[in-house]
Structure 1
């Protein structure tokens, strides 16, 4: 994957995440800035997404740690155990925001 393809893929993923979160029942504040998306939850916790072009990874920082995701051509997979980004986000938002979202389309 070229750097341009990587950047486009991350941008599309972050835009889709924002679209999904627009339907939130809780008060989530999304701020996007130069390849970084910060989601502030009602309880004050944050979930931060950043793109890492040198290693072609999407990094996600949560209350329980940071995770790195590689794209396999179809989906984002956590580099440590192969968990999908969709599954990790489902669990993270349920725990941190107290709301469940369907991230299966990212």
Structure 2
């Protein structure tokens, strides 16, 4: 079953808000503009999370690569279409690798 456009936007908005709250004390700057969230760390590295409306996906750009996530209604989590990792797992690894920050993204 495909997500409706409204449900997709609600899910992405909620995810970005949760990420902003979790990262606000650890990121140097967080910008959200036109559906794209840019998280900048003190060392100059960044993560970019963008909504891909036509595909109903959430994309993450990190130093380790690009990841495409589909929302799984059953688990209530974003899951990578290739690796089947959850968004929170990839974000935890990326923030540790890029900024040396260990955070718990289990609720994301």
Structure 1 runs (4+) greater than 2 angstroms displaced:
none
CA RMSD across the alignment: 1.0
TM-score (norm 1): 0.93
Is this contact kept in 2: 1:50–1:59, CA < 8 A? yes
Paired with 1:2 and 1:84, the residues of 2 have a C-alpha distance of: 21
Question: Structure 1: which 5+ runs fail to align?
Answer: none
TM-score (norm 2): 0.92
Partner SS state of residue 32, structure 2: strand
Paired with 2:46 and 2:5, the residues of 1 have a C-alpha distance of: 28
Question: Structure 2: which 5+ runs fail to align?
Answer: none
Paired with 2:57 and 2:8, the residues of 1 have a C-alpha distance of: 8
Aligned pairs (5 A) from 1:41-52: 41-52=41-52
